[in-house]
Amino acid sequence: MNVKELELFVSNVLRVGVMISGVLIIIGLGLFMVTGDSCYPNGEASIDWIIYGDPFLSPSHILFMGFLVLVITPLLRVAASVLAYRAEKDWTYVAITGFVLTILVIGMVLGVG
Amino acid sequence: MTPQFILTAFIVALSSGFLGALLGLGGGVVMVPLLVFILDVPIHLAAGASIVAVVATSSVSASVYVRDEITNMRLGMFLEMATTLGAVTGASIMVGISESVLRIIFALSLLYAAVIMWYQMRNTGRSWLPMENDWMANKLNLGSDYYDSARDETIAYGVSRSLPTFIISYIAGVISGLLGIGGGGVKVPAMNVISSVPMKAAVATSNFMIGVTASASALVYIRNGFCDGFITAPVVLGTLIGSFIGAKVALRVRGVVLKRIFIIILLILGVRMLASGVGLL
């Protein structure tokens, strides 16, 4: 995959990511309005909870999956630019983009704060 | 959370997103205080909803402009090292800070935004002087060029004083994480005034960076329970639709009167936020 194809791919990933999350958010919000069910997790929303839900596919679970999809798409963009700079053998920028990606992933997995 | 609450949040987000896109400013800076004052939402939750909306609008605009030649990817990624670290710092500070302190900090940023907007309005058309790369920019190859279709010429530029801009980018990241806003109002003037990056390139590069920065903060907000689903959902949908309409209308509207009105709105919200933060209202 060359750099131009990669950029096109990233652009599509961003668009599809927003669409999927938009649909999830609309469904989640709609279900909530209809059922009146909330199931909002008290306090922290762990990544485990966002993936598995409790119960699975409750209105708020669908909502948060929508948020997670939305928030993760920029991560894919940074990951794609690591690959793009690697293809260009620009090692300084592989390191720089790799550093940014690392902070994002650490923030997601560990949840700082 | 009643349907009426959700509808109001949606309308607030719709109008903020519309205004933001119209004026080329993120909507978050207006939306957060409106949510706080109109819906009595704690400022932490308003910021949490806003930061997810910032990611959404940025992804939409990035998917359109990802192949534009104006964004300086290398400069963006270089500064992004500072902003993502700053965003995580800011979001972590937000978690432990009180409602009134956060209101005061937000008030100051509203007043700052008003000053910056006024300054930019007075200085439009001022000649911009290209400068050479400094040693770090030279080493990292930060300078770039782009084709300006309005002037029908290719504009080449170097990045001067890259270290101060790097440090300010860190602060921009802290503010973004702390307040749930994009922080373009800090980065763009730094790139343009300090590092002599042309305005168009500074704006495009800042837009590219905002999504990544906001996503770093948003993850911390979600993990710590500052993202209430039933505030965030209507806010994200409203902002998306509002900014989409705003971007379409922006092409047909002259900005000067609108900018004056917006500066006044920022001042009013800033003063009111400050008063509520110190306990006067």
Q: Which residue has the tokens 């972590």?
A: B92
Residue span of the structural domain in which B111 resides? 3-277
B59 inside 8 A of chain A by CB: yes
Nearest to B22 by CA among B200, B262, B212: B262
Closest-CA distance of chain B to residue A9, Å: 10
Which of B176, B222, B227 to substitute to test the interface with A, most A CBs within 10 Å?
Answer: B222
Q: Say which of B52, B80, B92 has its CB closest to residue A100.
A: B80
Q: For residue A106, what is the nearest residue in chain B, using CA coordinates?
A: B216
Q: What is the largest CA-CA distance in chain B?
A: 58
Q: Say which of B56, B73, B234 has its CB closest to residue A29.
A: B234
Q: Say which of B52, B63, B223 has its CB closest to residue A15.
A: B63
Q: What angle do CA B31, B37, B41 make, to 5 degrees?
A: 80
Q: Specify the amino acid at residue B8.
A: T
Query: Which residues of A fall within a CB distance of 8 Å from B240?
Result: 18, 22
Query: Which residues of A fall within a CB distance of 8 Å from B6?
Result: 29, 33
The structural domains of chain A, with segments of one domain joined by +, span 3-110
- Which is it for strands B153-157 and B144-148: parallel, antiparallel or unpaired? antiparallel
Q: Which residue has the tokens 């519309």?
A: B18
Contact: A107, B58; criterion CB under 8 Å? no
Q: 3-state DSSP call for residue A90? A: coil
Give pLDDT tens digits for B73-108.
899 999 999 999 999 999 889 988 999 999 999 999
pTM (predicted TM-score): 0.89
Nearest to B87 by CA among B200, B186, B195: B186
Q: What is the ipTM of this complex?
A: 0.87
In this prediction, residue B119 carries a pLDDT of 83
The DSSP string of B242-259 is HHHHHHHHHTTS-HHHHH
Q: Are B86 and B165 in contact (CB under 8 A)?
A: no
The two three-digit tokens of residue B83, written as one number:
């902003």
Nearest to B95 by CA among B221, B213, B2: B221
Give pLDDT tens digits for A57-106.
777 888 889 999 999 888 888 998 899 889 889 999 999 999 999 999 88
Q: Specify the amino acid at residue B199.
A: M
Q: Are B4 and B15 in contact (CB under 8 A)?
A: no
Closest-CA distance of chain A to residue B226, Å: 8
In this prediction, residue B267 carries a pLDDT of 94
Residue B154: strand pairing partners: B147
Which of A7, A10, A13, A18 to substitute to test the interface with B, most B CBs within 10 Å?
Answer: A18
Residue B157: strand pairing partners: B144
Separation of alpha carbons A24 and B163, rounded Å: 42
How many domains is chain B built from?
1
Q: 3-state DSSP call for residue B238? A: helix
Separation of alpha carbons B126 and B105, rounded Å: 31
The two three-digit tokens of residue A104, written as one number:
């994002």
Give pLDDT tens digits for B12-62.
999 998 888 777 676 778 899 999 999 999 999 999 999 999 998 888 777
Those residues whose C-beta lies under 8 Å from the C-beta of residue B252, and which sit 6 or more positions away, are: none
Query: Which residues of A fall within a CB distance of 8 Å from B64?
Result: 11
Nearest to B31 by CA among B113, B124, B101, B118: B113
Report the range of poorest mean pLDDT among A27-31, A65-69, B56-60, B273-277.
B56-60
| CB interface of A with B, residues 89-108, below 8 Å | 92-93, 96-97, 99-100, 103-104, 107-108
Burial degree of A89 (CB within 10 A; 0-12, 13-18, 19+): exposed
Query: Which residues of A fall within a CB distance of 8 Å from B81?
Result: 96, 99-100, 103
Query: Which residues of B fall within a CB distance of 8 Å from A22?
Result: 236-237, 240
User: What does pLDDT average to over chain B?
Assistant: 87
The secondary structure of residue B131, as a DSSP letter, is: -
CB pairs under 8 A between A and B: 155
Q: Please report the sign of the dihedral spanned by the C-alpha atoms of residue B62, residue B109, residue B189, residue B149.
A: positive
Q: Specify the amino acid at residue B271.
A: V
Separation of alpha carbons B102 and B240, rounded Å: 26
Query: Which residues of A fall within a CB distance of 8 Å from B73?
Result: 81
